[in-house]
Amino acid sequence: MHRRQFLRTSAAGVAALGAPAFIRARGPNEKLNIAVIGCGGRGAANLGGVSSENIVALCDVNETNLLKAAGNHRQAKQFRDFRKLYDGLKDTEFDAVVVSTTEHTHAFATLPALKRKKHVYCEKPLAHNIREARIIAKAAKEAGVATQLGTQIHASSNYRRVVELIQARDGFGPVTEAHVWVSRAWGWQSPDDAKRHRDIVQTTNRPKEEMAIPHSLDWDLWLGPAPERPFHEVYVPGPKWYRWWDFGNGTMSDLGAHWIDLPFWALKLGVPHTVIATGPPPHPELAPASFSATFMFGARGDMPPMSLSWYQGESKPTLWTDKKIPHWGDGCLFIGEGGRMLLSNYDKHMLLPESAFVDFKRPAKTIPDSIGHYAEWIRACKDGSPTTCPFSYAAVVAESNHLGNVAFRSGERVEYDAREMKVRNNPKADQYLGREYRKGWELV
């Protein structure tokens, strides 16, 4: 590269991402050097999504997953422990990291990359708890790098058309209620209910017996910062683990990252000020299969205060149970002025009642179709263009979803002070905003 060309490229990089990031930026036709942490399950899908670039390192606590991934990327260095990956790679060897570990280690695998000013793609949810989400959001802001959360549905054309309709308001009006429901019922429930709901695990308590650890799995590394416990097949492989509070946060943080994303985007929501949850008595170890939560939000600019209600498993909105809307198994319902509604799922949406929208003219298309969820991030790493699910946005969605579980686990209404990151009315709820880590693990 000629000196003048280098200076022009450098100036553009500084303007887009800040001084640290442009040093590692690549031209549009030059490939990134990417380290991938977590190669099985969602990790395999995410690896496939970025395989157009140079995969320089692979890491997985399960040797079977690691070797399978290495078969397609023979030049990549192999690691079992992501801490050793960061110790073993020089800054000049990698530009970006893809994190697809279990939820309880997302923050631990992501933070070192941000501190070294590497671009990061992380599978959802962003972190295991609210404190971790705050730490990651702060580190990402300070790093000035390209970040993207694995909310792949955010890239869909359907979501974009819904956002345009809601924000245009023409013929629909301001939204004061939103309802989101998913039919998946995985978690704490009776064995009969688990069978009826096709749950992948049928357990009502922590197993007392210990099983032999599979030869390919480093169980101690898999546990990471979580409290030590004997191995059992009810925890792995994923997504069995997501129902255990020590490792995940159930359907609320998993599918919530996808489904609640739509109202958060369309309605420009922030962190709620009040959350109320209803469901079965909270279990000390297991997230519920079915429960509901209602989040209250203040006004946002010219958008009025509103409520967002979440339902999972057997819980459904009243309009659904009363057969006032189509019986979609999963959906997001926006309620506007005069009872006008917009119903959406991943693939389609409709305006209700249909008779009120016979002559309705859709707003102009203002949100460009995505070039692809992974492609957005790859491009952003190279030229500083924005992604649609950066950690600054993902952390807010994660914090709100986690508050649903905080209200459920505490058994009481939560009045939340987002600025102070503190529950004002319910002191026992504060324990669920973060947690202590197993000896040898620190998030620093």
Which is it for strands 119-122 and 331-335: parallel, antiparallel or unpaired? unpaired
* Burial of 136 (C-beta count, 10 Å sphere; 0-12/13-18/19+): buried
Q: What is the pLDDT of residue 27?
A: 67
Question: Which three-class secondary structure state does DSSP give residue 407?
Answer: helix
Q: What is the token pair recorded at 61? A: 């606590």
Q: What value does the mean pLDDT take over residues 277-305?
A: 97
pLDDT tens for each residue of 380-397: 999 999 999 999 999 999
- Of 60, 58, 117, 122, which Cα lies nearest the Cα of 92? 117
Q: What is the mean pLDDT of residues 291-308?
A: 96
pLDDT in the model for residue 29: 75
CA–CA separation, 56 and 38 (whole Å): 14
How far is the CA of 366 from the CAs of 162, 164, 168, 379, in angstroms? 11, 7, 10, 21
- From 214, 224, 265, 278, select the one nearest 248 (Cα to Cα): 224
Closest by CA to 269, choosing from 243, 304, 245, is 304
What radius of gyration do the chain's Cα atoms show?
22
pLDDT reading at 315 higher than 60 = yes
In the chain, % of residues over pLDDT 90:
90
The pLDDT, as a whole number, for residue 3 is 35
CA distance 228 to 429: 24
pLDDT digits (tens, 9 = 90+) for 210-221: 999 999 999 999
Per cent of the chain over pLDDT 70 is 94
Q: Are 13 and 21 in contact (CB under 8 A)?
A: yes
Label residue 170 by pLDDT band (50, 70, 90).
confident
* The pLDDT value given to residue 171: 78
Question: Helix 63-70 to helix 42-49 angle, to the nearest 10 degrees?
Answer: 20
Under 8 Å between Cβ of 75 and 93: no
Could you say which DSSP state residue 277 is in? Answer: E
What's the farthest any 2 CA atoms get from each other in the chain?
71
pLDDT tens digits, one per residue of 56-111: 999 999 999 999 999 999 999 999 999 999 999 999 999 999 999 999 999 999 99
Between the alpha carbon of residue 162 and those of residues 124, 239, 251, 355, 414, the distances in Å are 22, 30, 23, 19, 30
pLDDT of amino acid 26 = 58
Q: Which helix (H) or strand (E) holds 158?
A: helix 157-168
Whole-angstrom Cα distance, residue 177 to residue 247?
32
Q: Averaged over 166-177, what is the pLDDT?
A: 89
Give 337-379 as a DSSP string: GGG-EEEE-SS-EEEESGGGGTT--PPP--SPPPS-HHHHHHH
**What's the pLDDT tens digit per position in 5-55?**
433 433 333 333 443 444 445 567 799 999 999 999 999 999 999 999 999
> Both tokens of residue 123?
């599978």
Beta bridge partners of 147: 120
Is cis: bond before 304, omega within 30 of 0?
no
Alpha-carbon distance 309 to 317, whole Å? 8
* pTM for the model: 0.92
Sign of the dihedral through C-alpha 408, 346, 390, 169: negative
Q: Give me the amino acid identity at 385.
A: S
The DSSP call for residue 290 is: S
Distance CA(179)–CA(319), nearest Å, equals 10
Average pLDDT of the residues of the chain: 93
Question: What pLDDT band is residue 324 in, cutting at 50, 70 and 90?
Answer: very high
How distant is the alpha carbon of residue 362 from its chain centre? 30
d(CA 241, CA 226): 12
Fold of 157-368+396-432: Dihydrodipicolinate Reductase; domain 2 (3.30.360)
Work out the average pLDDT over 194-208.
95
Q: Which of 105, 99, 58 is nearest to 220 (CA)?
A: 105
Instruction: Tell me the per-residue pLDDT of 335-344, one tens digit each, with 9 for 90 and over.
Output: 998 899 999 9
Q: Where in the chain is the domain with CATH 3.30.360?
A: 157-368+396-432
Q: In which element (H, E) is residue 58 found?
A: strand 54-59
Note whether 184 and 316 are within 8 A (CB).
no
Terminal-to-terminal C-alpha distance of the chain: 38
Mean pLDDT, rounded, for 244-253: 97
Location of each CATH 3.40.50.720 domain in the chain:
3-154+377-389
pLDDT in tens, 111-148: 999 999 999 999 999 999 999 999 999 999 999 999 99
Domain boundaries 3-154+377-389, corresponding CATH code? 3.40.50.720
pLDDT grade for 173, boundaries at 50, 70 and 90: confident
Element (H, E) at 274: strand 274-278
Sheet hosting strand 291-297, strand order edge to edge: 349-352, 341-344, 331-335, 177-182, 306-312, 291-297, 274-278, 414-417, 422-423
Task: Mark 204-243 as b/e (b = at least 16 C-beta within 10 Å).
Answer: eeeeeeeeeeeeebebebbbbbbeeeebbebbbbbbbbbb
Residue 394 DSSP class:
H
Question: Residue 437 has what pLDDT?
Answer: 97
